[in-house]
Amino acid sequence: MQQSFKLAWRNLWRNRRRTLITLASVFMAVVLAIAIRSFQKGVYGNMIGNAVRFSTGYIQVHAKGYWDDQSINNTFVPGTSLEQALKKEKNISLAVPKLESFALASSGPHTKGVEVIGIAPRKEDSMNNVAGKITQGKYFTNNIGQGILIGDGLAKYLQLKLGDTLVLLGQGYHGTTAAGQYPIQGIFHFPLEQLNNSLVYLYLPDAQALFGAPDRLTSISIMLRQPDDINSTTLFLKHSLDSTREVMQWPAMNKSLVQEIQGDNAGGIIMLGILYMVVAFGVFGTILMMTLERKKEFAVMIAIGMHRVRLTVIIIFETVLIGLLGILSGSLLIFPVLAYLHRHPILLTGATAQTYQQFGIEPIMPASLDPYIFLYQGLTVLGIAIISVVYPLWYINRFRIAETLKQ
């Protein structure tokens, strides 16, 4: 084996320039493939993170039928069985209760439809760091009657400032009138304009009082320690809860987002496919030349007693070495760049940023450092290199020694 490896390694460098050119093509392919995939995954992660943190959670528990008819009448009172189930499941890091509905927000001559969310302050802050998004005033404490938080877009539209009063008017539980006036305790700014323009937060008991739905919730959003284990947690909750509750995962609640990701992902895979084809031809060309120029050498080796299997191993070593050197050098170079862009995402500006915001996505391009990106791209390039070795293997198995020696 050592002899085979030595021969393979030296064969690689007998034509240094050609090997370096091939290595460069594998290197570039690995760098591009990992970078493309990393940004795709990073952006998807950001999109999913936004949806999960600011909206649904990874899993949501609500009253059966609520998702199709999101009305204040489809609320529920969390019973002890639900609370016990949430405590029992180890994968649940946070269960965030919410009461959500719509109302008209009015101030002087200005009126706007808004989404009112009653929140448990500490839990909500743990979920989406809403306290950190307060730009004026202060976040909630656990006290009833403390006021309201509104987005800076809404404040601007309604020409409100800290301490002003906002009137909310809507329909409460089972047709009651929901009306209240609240001093503006804080103004927040989220990365998503959509939220800034149409969202108001109330302390949960205040919201329940506004909508005449004491102790009732529209949903409990659940955050997970291990998002990859979402299925087992969902199953556990479904088994633990009675049929009046519904347990849904984030993809079912964010279908358009999932479709968008799938579409974009398919485009990315096609791009990678083209890139891989270019690499495949480059590697195949080199392996082909390395085979054709060494036909006689192969014949001599077999003639003096080397088994064809051994020669096959040498050729595979040569190909794998080209692949591995390209993969390792490419990965080592791109990793620190991606690590930096993971911590300091590219901030999108202009029309691109607006498009992102229209879709409710934070306009940033973070890089993902998911190790599987490196692993899969590495394995794919290695696979391509190994496929390129098929012709030499076919040739080694078939060539006739005497005939080749004569050439």
Using CB under 8 A as the binding rule, whether residue 291 contacts other proteins is answered as no
CA dihedral 144, 207, 204, 157 (to 10 degrees): -100
Q: What is the SS3 assignment for 175?
A: helix
SS3 18: helix
3-state helix, strand, coil in the chain (%, to 5): 60, 20, 20
Interface residue with other proteins among 94, 96, 168, 301 (CB under 8 A) is 301
98, 221 in Cβ contact below 8 A?
yes
Of 14 and 88, CB closest to other proteins: 14
Is residue 402 involved in binding other proteins (CB under 8 A)? yes
Does 293 help bind other proteins (rule: CB under 8 A)?
A: no
CA atoms of 352 and 261, how far apart (whole Å): 17
Helices assigned H by DSSP within 115-203:
121-128, 152-157, 193-198
Which one of 17, 304, 351, 398 is in contact with other proteins (CB under 8 A)? Answer: 304
- Choose the binding region for other proteins from 181-189, 222-230, 259-267, 294-302 (rule: CB under 8 A): 294-302
Site membership for other proteins, residue 215 (CB under 8 A): no
Question: Does the protein bind other proteins through residue 289 (CB under 8 A)?
Answer: no
Candidates 88, 256, 297, 346: give the one binding other proteins (CB under 8 A). 297
What is the spatial distance between Cα 12 and Cα 237, in angstroms, rounded to a whole number?
Answer: 58
Tally of CB atoms within 10 A around 226: 12
- Residue 88 or 296: the one with the smaller Cβ distance to other proteins is 296
Residue 151: name the closest of 182, 110, 195 by CA.
195
| Helix (H) or strand (E) segment spanning residue 182 | strand 177-188
How far apart CA 107 and CA 378 sit, in angstroms, is 59
Footprint of other proteins on 371-400 (CB under 8 A): 400
Structure tokens at 137: 């005033």
User: Which CB, 39 or 298, lies closer to other proteins?
Assistant: 298
Residue written as token pair 């009082």 = 209
Interface residue with other proteins among 166, 302, 322, 361 (CB under 8 A) is 302
Site string for other proteins, 308-327 (x = CB under 8 A): x-x-----------------
Task: Name the one range near other proteins by CB under 8 A: 5-13, 189-197, 207-215, 334-342.
Answer: 5-13
* Of 7-15, 100-108, 253-261, 331-339: span binding other proteins (CB under 8 A): 7-15
Q: Given the rule CB under 8 A, which of 9-17, 209-217, 222-230, 324-332 is the region that contacts other proteins? A: 9-17
The site for other proteins (CB under 8 A) is made up of: 3, 7, 10-11, 14, 296-297, 300-308, 310, 400-402, 405-406
